[in-house]
Amino acid sequence: MAPREVEPHLFVIMGGSGALARRKLLPAVWQLAAQGSLTAKSIILATARRRHLDDESYRQWAREALAAAGLPADETCTHWCDECLHYHALGEEGPEDFQALRSRIEALERQHDLPGNRVFYLAIPPASLPLAVEGLGAAGLHRAPGWTRIVVEKPFGHDLESANELDRLLKRYFSEEQTYRIDHYLGKEAVQNLLVFRFANPVFESLWSRDRIASVQITVAETAGIEDRAAFYDGVGALRDMVQNHMMQLLTLVAMEIPASFEADAIRNEKAKVLQAVAPIRQQGVCFGQYVVGEIDGIGVPGYLDAAGVQPASSTETFVALELNINNWRWQGVPFYLRTGKRLAKSTRQIVVNFRCPVLSVFDRYPDAAVSANSLVITLEPDEGFELEFVVKAPGDMLTLQPQRLRFRYDEVFGRLPEAYEALLLDILTGDQTLFVRIDEVLAAWRLLTPLLEMRPRPYPYAAGTWGPREADSLLAPVGGVCWLNW
């Protein structure tokens, strides 16, 4: 397929010397450049508040970041850094600092003969967003000779009220069409495949409802702890960090109706409807946890409260399990279980669809012929692919039933999958909002979860290296016989 046309542009990364730029954004832009996906001139201007770098030292910093991300820091890369990367120290973000930024942008556009298409990627902490949006707007940077797009990272606000407030501020300067709310889960290939899996394979879609499905589990389990992110994570917690965005987005893709077309708004309309149909969450349907000292892969790890920068006696949750019910014709009575946590036994992102058992088993009188429900396990990462579990007769005289799996793995067929940020950056540059979260989705998710934040369930302790607190198991009691699938 011919690469999508990218127009010449200036890509401004605010927070250009931060962790996101280092780990994700620069490697992704460089990959796009190296593989020829940037079909027109793409100049990068990194800005940061305090770091006193200049173009030269920033390029050196970027080369090191690319090497640390495992990319070859060869001559082509050095050439790209020299040609395309620029740095601007933003200072304390007063009005005059944004005027200076504007002058620098215009100078770069003249120097590189760019037509004035601009992306502002706000790779900055949530608390700094309002100042940046206000600063850009007041300096007139929301308008340009070409197009202007603004990219906002999650979490968008920290509850319903603050999300509304941030939205009002953004709307003073930027329209919804200019605003790209990024959720990197939507850029993962296996996540994008969910819609193809459902809507291009009628064999599954015909089973995709309360008639055939008993329950759904969505798990995002990490063995990693909070690393050096206490300043962000403590007080934010897993509900805001993972559930409000990544997990709710996964839920929408599993549960949405077939869109009228594959256009951005047609898809986002259906996703928003799912979130609007979720019933208020019952207190008994929630379990929070916080990890204590334990072992991961045989190595001892300290508990959350001992992590550098965490408040003593912090009640921030590092684990959440939730039961959600969707009040619509397709899903009435089918519980959706969401579970996410840090320092769990294994690192996996998975969706498990448990189908209903046969209403009556004709094999009842045979001791080794218990019929179990079929299940479909969609693995989003690592080892992207899926497995369909079904039952076969084991050869021999006695009737013995045995579960087996039909298996598909992406890497066996397609090799390396692109990083989520590569796909999303290309979408931003080509103006495709399909994989970006619309404001009504964000607000619907907050509307659902804000009461839980106010309820603040006390987190149960769980040992690092386990699957979370035992109390999370009792959420599954309504679907007797089903437990969390811990692969």
Give the residues lining the site for ligand BG6 (CB under 6 A): 222, 241, 349
> In the numeric block, which tokens belong to residue 26?
């620069």
Pairwise CA distance, residues 145 & 137, whole Å: 15
- Return the number of the residue (149 or 184) whose C-beta is nearest ligand BG6: 184
Question: What minimum distance in Å lies between the beta carbon of 21 and ligand BG6?
Answer: 15
Pairwise CA distance, residues 83 & 9, whole Å: 14
Characterize the bridge pairing of strands 85-89 and 42-48.
Answer: parallel
Question: What minimum distance in Å lies between the beta carbon of 213 and ligand BG6?
Answer: 25
Nearest one of 404, 333, 395 to 375, comparing CA atoms: 404
Tokens 């992306």 sit on residue = 119
Question: What minimum distance in Å lies between the beta carbon of 39 and ligand BG6?
Answer: 27
Q: Mention every residue, 6+ apart, whose C-beta is less than 8 A from residue 248.
A: 275, 441, 445, 448
Asked if 219 contacts 343 with a C-beta cutoff of 8 angstroms, the reply is no
Question: What minimum distance in Å lies between the beta carbon of 381 and ligand BG6?
Answer: 6
Exposure letters 121-130 (e unless 16+ CB within 10 A, then b): bbbbebeebe
Q: Which of 86, 158, 184, 246 is catalytic?
A: 246
Asked if 123 contacts 18 with a C-beta cutoff of 8 angstroms, the reply is yes
Pairwise CA distance, residues 204 & 198, whole Å: 6
Question: What minimum distance in Å lies between the beta carbon of 351 and ligand BG6?
Answer: 13
Amino acid 402 reads Q
What SS3 class is residue 299? Answer: strand
- Return the number of the residue (88 or 349) whose C-beta is nearest ligand BG6: 349
- Indicate the burial class of 378 (C-beta count within 10 angstroms; 0-12, 13-18, 19 or more): buried
Distance, C-alpha 374 to centroid of its chain: 28
Whole-Å CA distances, 108 to 42, 113, 141, 142, 169 = 11, 8, 14, 17, 28
- Return the number of the residue (49 or 349) whose C-beta is nearest ligand BG6: 349
> In the numeric block, which tokens belong to residue 464?
């690092």
246 is a catalytic site residue: yes
Of all residues in the shown chain, the one whose CB is closest to ligand BG6 is 241
Asked if 302 contacts 292 with a C-beta cutoff of 8 angstroms, the reply is no
Catalytic residue ranges: 246
